[in-house]
Amino acid sequence: MNLNLTMFGQSLVFFAFVWFCLKFIWPFLKAAMTERQEAIAHGLAAAEEAEKKLTEAASGAQDELAKAKDEAAQIIDQARRRANQMIEDAKGEAREEGQRLVDAAKGEIDQEMNRAREALRVQVAELAISGAEKVLESSIDASQHSQMLERLAGEL
Amino acid sequence: MPTGETQTSAEYIKHHLTNLTYGQHPDGAWGFAHSAEEALEMGFMSINVDSMAWSIGLGVIFLLLFRRAAKNATVGVPGGLQNGVEMIVDFIDDLTQSIFSHKNDLIAPMALTIFVWVFLMNLMDLVPVDWIPELAKLFGVHYMKVVPSTDPNITMAMALAVFVLIIYYSIKCKGLGGFLAELSFHPFPSKLLIPVNFILEFVTLIAKPLSLGLRLFGNLYAGEMIFVLIAIMFSAGIGFALAGGVFQFVWAVFHLIIITLQAFVFAVLTIVYMAQAHDTEEH
């Protein structure tokens, strides 16, 4: 066991090897490993994200569905109310129309009655005049007494 | 023990524990040492060619393999090589982050290099002890220690490198004054006890690289020794050879745990020492 120059030679070789490892081996392997680690971490994060999004989408769809159902119910409700409204309106209109028709008929009846009364009055006046003519014979001039007769007819 | 006729067991063991050393002979000529004694005579100005070659070769294998994975690294589904490499990188990265809380990009790659490199060097221990040396003998190379981490030069060299970084980051993060103060005012915060503190802390500091390097060396050296001893059994008759085969398998399985653990311990302790060097707060 004798120490000799081998020791220093080996020390130099050692430093050279360490230097080579430091410069040409370690950084490359470390970089590749770190990058892969990141890639895997990214992948896992993305998977988690996707899962979260999926549940979000599912709950979103549920919400959408509930909303759509709500809306549909609302629309049906509205339609029903509107139909009722229309029926009510139609009923009111029909009632009004009927009233109007009744009123018109009543007016016509009144007019008819008035006209009949007028005609009756005229006939009564004529009848009275012809009666009085017959009583007085010629003493009554139709034109002279028509004023009086008209007044008489108006009283009827 | 294929060359058993001409070798005693002691020679066999010694042969297995001798490095292929290149250096200057006492007579002035340069060349390979032909025995452990010659290698010792060369003194400090020599180099263990087998340890250097195997450690550099294994280190290059590690770097090329990981470089290929790094260059082809894809963010998508990783292939087989990238998968394995990333598993180790991730393991070291987690380890570093759990121990080292400061910002320093050097620590994790260094821990990775130490872990894989030391593991590969230790792994050579599982190659049957005679294979490569006998093969080398065919090419005229007489000594061949194939497990670099059983050479204290190799383990101490890495420990020394870590030690240099400990000193460097200690001074960088705490300042020279802060570093010296840490050595002088712990564990007793009193001016009177500075010498005592300094001796205690200095020993602690020196013990770090020593224990780091010698632990790895000791474990692997002992493991190698046991493999060599088991290999001796192969030439001691059929009964011993069969028992040796079983021992070798059992020890190899056990050793597999040891070599991984030692590589891990070296890496973890390096990170811990670095963290201590970066810690500026009083404790």
Output the CA–CA distances (angstroms, integers) from residue B202 to A90, A92, B198, B212, in the order listed.
116, 118, 6, 16
Q: At residue B163, what is the residue type?
A: F
Residue B46 — φ and ψ, nearest 5°?
A: -145, 170
pLDDT digit string (tens) for B76-135? 888 888 899 999 999 999 999 999 998 899 999 999 999 999 999 999 999 988 888 888
Instruction: Report chain A residues whose CB lies below 8 A from the CB of B109.
Output: 18, 21-22, 25-26
Asked if B20 reaches chain A (Cβ–Cβ under 8 Å), the answer is no
Residue B130: strand, helix, or coil: coil
Q: Is B57 on the interface with A (CB under 8 A)?
A: no
End-to-end Cα, chain B, rounded Å:
56
Chains A, B: CB pairs < 8 Å: 126
Distance CA B234, CA B28 (A): 41
Q: Does A8 touch chain B (CB under 8 A)?
A: yes
Under 8 Å between Cβ of B122 and B62: no
Identify which of B51, B66, B113 has the shortest CB distance to residue A6.
B51
Interface predicted TM-score (ipTM): 0.88
Below-50 pLDDT ranges, chain A: none
Res. B174: pLDDT tops 60? yes
Q: B8-61 pLDDT, tens per residue?
A: 888 888 888 888 888 888 887 888 888 888 888 888 888 889 999 999 999 999
